[in-house]
């Protein structure tokens, strides 16, 4: 074999997958259409946010790269929902887009055992032995045939990608970047359930044509690191964001031109995300609202372009100019890049096991937007899981499957592989049942020991982690001794008691939160433990559910589609009832 593993696509999923494979000692080839675009932030120049910030910290604790990348290039940092409970707080940072991409490229280029190659994969090479299909390598647009028993697909929005701006359309994966042709249809021929999804992005305008004086300024907070291993933290100059609003005139222009929208005109067939609507969707769906928020976000320190958050659109460019210029402060804004929609092929994630390995093609893994998700963080999380599990398979070890109480990453993979994705899937705090356990500040204790077992955490880093745990224990004693109940009390104590000031503030806050919410946390842990019992009951992926009498026709069909690996996963399939679970319990007992 030429390589132990091939990763297709150098986006956020591909970066994590290829780094994990090579860090774990296996040779890896990252084939990507354009190495200049490694780690490109296709849409919003920001990383983190509600639940996504938690994912970034989880990726870091599990030995991934994303947190370290954003730590190197943040130009504004904030903790969202500061005024609300800790379960729903999360860090978010604006990124210098160029710096982010450069840091990502440097991370993969400097990784031992990782080779980068510029080409487009058009076909998977497969073989069939005793009825089992497995991947044997890839074929590329320039005619290369490269062999490997393990392939990870992370093609983002590029498979048969097509972009739309009003009447204009073009075969591209992002504006200005060619689509990846061939592989989507190859996957269809191999029997994968391949569908079409769509997403969209707003225009970028020249910052020096924006009138900030009439907008509300939004400053960031004191920057803090996403990575728990924050030695590499470098603070760049910080920039503000700005807030303005659409007006009734904006809405009138959009309504009058809605027939020219490729979405409303029926040109776009792929399903878009309800929660991330275009401005034309918002205007048409909520006719009673006379204004919508627009956040003006810097794209970087050395570019004049700014991002118009809240205004994704695929309306024609002349309409985009008109509605943007109708907004307060944007009257003279000059568009540098128009907003657009992109439609692309994706694999139904029900085709995948929770390891992210394909059910129909052994050795083939898939991660990121190709699995029906949306978002950099969701992609990075899946890339890391797919990379780890590709290695586990090569090692002959069981896959890493995180539970819903272990991590947002567990919720993400479980949702995708149990519920499928009819529309682009994005993480929300509300998708997690155990939010207090999944706080962003606890990601290291939840995941770092597992990453250490897998081999992704160095001795030095693990020593630092152990010291932190000892520190947290010591703080807990100190807090009990001083009868402290509220995080706000730290401020006073820091000034009067040196026993406190010797510890990092983040650690102090964490212990106080743990103590303050201990009752709720214990309750969540008890519920999670009950659910874990159901996840401990294994079901065979070979089971033919049509042969189990008593199951409803709907249950048989759904169970045969998902092929759940545990009783817990079976119970989470919509439409599976208590009675079906009772039958499956009996069936699994008999099998053992
Ligand atoms: C227009 C647009 C709007 C978006 N809007 C949002 C949003 O509002 N919110 C949000 O959270 N996310 C949004 N996203 C999604 C976000 O960009 C993605 O979720 C994220 O980048 C996915 O990461 P990925 O690694 O899966 O794929 P990508 O970052 O897309 O990377 C895929 C990489 O694979 C390469 N590639 C693809 N096919 C092949 C092949 N066959 N051979 C070799 N290389 C290949 C591509 O060149 C690319 O470099 C948007 C994306 C786009 C394009």
pLDDT band at 232 (very low <50, low <70, confident <90, very high): low
In angstroms, rounded to a whole number, what is the distance separating the alpha carbons of residues 31 and 294? 37
User: How far away, in angstroms, is 131 Cα from ligand 1 center?
Assistant: 34
As given in the structure block, the two tokens for residue 259 are: 């027939």
Ligand 1 contacts CB of residue 379 (under 6 A): yes
Query: What is the arithmetic mean of pLDDT over 4-25?
Result: 98
User: How far away, in angstroms, is 34 Cα from ligand 1 center?
Assistant: 13
Ligand 1 contacts CB of residue 33 (under 6 A): yes
In testing the pocket of ligand 1, which one of 49, 55, 156 has its CB within 8 Å of the most ligand atoms? 156
Q: Give the bridge partners for 153, in sequence order.
A: 8, 366
pLDDT score for 588: 80
Asked if 414 and 365 touch (Cβ cutoff 8 Å), the reply is no
Asked if 185 and 169 touch (Cβ cutoff 8 Å), the reply is no
pLDDT score for 513: 84
Q: Which residues contact 397 (CB under 8 A, 6 or more apart)?
A: none
**SS3 state of residue 427:** coil
- pLDDT tens-digit readout, 395-430: 999 999 999 999 999 999 999 999 999 899 999 999
- pLDDT tens-digit readout, 102-125: 999 999 999 999 999 999 999 999
pTM of the model: 0.95
- pLDDT tens-digit readout, 553-572: 889 999 999 999 999 999 99
Decide if pLDDT at 273 tops 80.
Answer: no
Question: What residue's CA is closest to ligand 1, atom 17?
Answer: 42
Decide if pLDDT at 497 tops 80.
Answer: no
Ligand 1 contacts CB of residue 6 (under 6 A): no
Query: What is the arithmetic mean of pLDDT over 569-584?
Result: 90
User: How far away, in angstroms, is 83 Cα from ligand 1 center?
Assistant: 33
In testing the pocket of ligand 1, which one of 6, 11, 44 has its CB within 8 Å of the most ligand atoms? 11
Query: What is the arithmetic mean of pLDDT over 348-352?
Result: 95
- Quick count: other Cβ atoms within 10 Å of Cβ 544? 11
pLDDT score for 516: 82
Asked if 421 and 369 touch (Cβ cutoff 8 Å), the reply is no
User: How far away, in angstroms, is 158 Cα from ligand 1 center?
Assistant: 7
Question: What residue's CA is closest to ligand 1, atom 11?
Answer: 375
pLDDT band at 267 (very low <50, low <70, confident <90, very high): confident
In angstroms, rounded to a whole number, what is the distance separating the alpha carbons of residues 284 and 211? 28
Decide if pLDDT at 231 tops 70.
Answer: no
Asked if 137 and 311 touch (Cβ cutoff 8 Å), the reply is no
Bigger pLDDT: 291 vs 495: 291
User: How far away, in angstroms, is 376 Cα from ligand 1 center?
Assistant: 8
User: How far away, in angstroms, is 44 Cα from ligand 1 center?
Assistant: 12
Q: Which residues contact 30 (CB under 8 A, 6 or more apart)?
A: 7, 10, 14, 18, 108, 114, 115, 116, 117
Mean pLDDT, the chain, whole residue set: 93
User: How far away, in angstroms, is 180 Cα from ligand 1 center?
Assistant: 12
Q: Percent of the chain beyond pLDDT 90?
A: 76
Ligand 1 contacts CB of residue 342 (under 6 A): yes
| Interaxial angle between packed helices 505-516 and 459-482, expressed in degrees from 0 to 180 and rounded to the nearest 10 | 60
In testing the pocket of ligand 1, which one of 8, 15, 42, 416 has its CB within 8 Å of the most ligand atoms? 42
In testing the pocket of ligand 1, which one of 272, 374, 381, 382 has its CB within 8 Å of the most ligand atoms? 374
Question: What residue's CA is closest to ligand 1, atom 34?
Answer: 9
Ligand 1 contacts CB of residue 199 (under 6 A): yes
Asked if 383 and 14 touch (Cβ cutoff 8 Å), the reply is yes
Query: What is the arithmetic mean of pLDDT over 12-32?
Result: 98
Asked if 354 and 569 touch (Cβ cutoff 8 Å), the reply is yes
Query: What is the arithmetic mean of pLDDT over 427-439?
Result: 92
User: How far away, in angstroms, is 164 Cα from ligand 1 center?
Assistant: 16
Ligand 1 contacts CB of residue 372 (under 6 A): no
- pLDDT tens-digit readout, 365-401: 999 999 999 999 999 999 999 999 999 999 999 999 9
Ligand 1 contacts CB of residue 424 (under 6 A): no
Query: What is the arithmetic mean of pLDDT over 157-167?
Result: 97
As given in the structure block, the two tokens for residue 589 are: 């007992």
In angstroms, rounded to a whole number, what is the distance separating the alpha carbons of residues 21 and 37? 21
Q: Which residues contact 533 (CB under 8 A, 6 or more apart)?
A: none
- pLDDT tens-digit readout, 47-103: 999 999 999 999 999 999 999 999 999 999 999 998 887 778 999 999 999 999 999
pLDDT score for 208: 97
- pLDDT tens-digit readout, 275-319: 678 999 999 999 999 999 999 999 999 999 999 999 999 999 999
């Amino acid at each position: 074999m030429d390589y132990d593993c091939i990763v297709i696509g150098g986006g956020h999923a591909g970066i994590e997958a290829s780094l994990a494979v090579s860090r774990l000692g296996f040779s890896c080839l990252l084939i990507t259409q354009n190495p200049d675009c490694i780690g490109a932030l296709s849409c919003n120049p920001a990383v983190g946010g509600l639940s996504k910030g938690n994912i970034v910290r989880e990726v870091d604790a599990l030995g991934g790269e994303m947190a370290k990348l954003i730590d190197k290039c943040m130009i504004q940092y904030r903790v969202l929902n500061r005024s609300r409970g800790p379960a729903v707080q999360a860090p978010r940072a604006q990124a210098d887009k160029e710096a982010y991409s450069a840091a990502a490229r440097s991370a993969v280029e400097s990784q031992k055992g990782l080779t980068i190659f510029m080409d487009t994969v058009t076909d998977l090479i497969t073989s069939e032995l005793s009825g089992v299909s497995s991947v044997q390598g890839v074929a590329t647009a320039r005619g290369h045939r490269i062999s490997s028993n393990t392939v990870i697909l992370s093609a983002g929005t590029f498979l048969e990608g097509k972009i739309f701006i009003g009447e204009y359309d073009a075969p591209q994966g992002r504006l200005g970047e060619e689509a990846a042709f061939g592989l989507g249809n190859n996957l269809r021929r191999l029997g994968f359930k391949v569908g079409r999804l769509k997403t969209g992005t707003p225009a970028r305008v020249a910052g020096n044509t924006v009138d900030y004086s009439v907008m509300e300024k939004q400053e960031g907070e004191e920057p803090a690191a996403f990575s728990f291993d924050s030695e590499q933290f470098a603070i760049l100059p910080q920039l503000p964001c700005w807030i303005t609003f659409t007006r009734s005139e904006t809405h009138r222009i959009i309504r009058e031109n809605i027939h020219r929208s490729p979405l409303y005109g029926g040109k776009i067939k792929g399903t878009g995300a309800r929660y991330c609507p275009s401005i034309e969707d918002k205007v048409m769906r909520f006719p009673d609202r006379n204004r919508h928020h627009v956040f003006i976000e810097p794209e970087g320190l050395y570019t004049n372009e700014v991002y118009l958050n809240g205004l994704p659109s695929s309306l024609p460019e002349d309409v985009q100019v008109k509605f943007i210029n109708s907004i307060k402060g944007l009257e003279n804004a000059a568009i540098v890049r128009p907003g657009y929609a992109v439609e692309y092929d994706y694999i139904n994630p029900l085709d995948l096991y929770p390891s992210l390995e394909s059910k129909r093609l052994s050795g083939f893994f898939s991660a990121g937007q190709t699995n029906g998700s949306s978002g950099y963080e969701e992609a990075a999380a899946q890339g890391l899981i797919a990379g780890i599990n590709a290695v586990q398979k090569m090692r002959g070890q069981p896959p890493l499957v995180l539970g819903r109480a272990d991590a947002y990453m567990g919720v993400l993979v479980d949702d995708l592989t149990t519920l499928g994705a009819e529309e682009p899937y994005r993480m929300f705090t509300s998708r997690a049942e155990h939010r207090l356990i999944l706080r962003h500040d606890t990601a290291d204790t939840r995941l770092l020991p597992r990453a250490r077992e897998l081999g992704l955490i160095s001795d030095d880093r693990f020593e630092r982690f152990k010291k932190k745990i000892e520190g947290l224990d010591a703080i807990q004693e100190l807090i009990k001794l001083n009868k402290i109940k509220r995080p706000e009390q730290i401020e006073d104590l820091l000034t009067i008691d040196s026993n406190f000031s010797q510890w990092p503030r983040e650690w102090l806050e964490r212990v106080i939160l743990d103590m303050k919410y201990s009752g709720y946390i214990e309750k969540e842990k008890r519920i999670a433990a009950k659910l874990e019992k159901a996840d401990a009951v294994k079901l065979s992926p070979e089971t033919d559910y049509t042969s189990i009498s008593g199951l409803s026709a709907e249950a048989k069909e759904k169970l045969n589609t998902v092929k759940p690996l545990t009783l817990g996963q079976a119970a989470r399939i919509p439409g599976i009832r208590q009675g079906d679970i009772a039958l499956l319990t009996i069936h699994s007992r008999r099998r053992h």
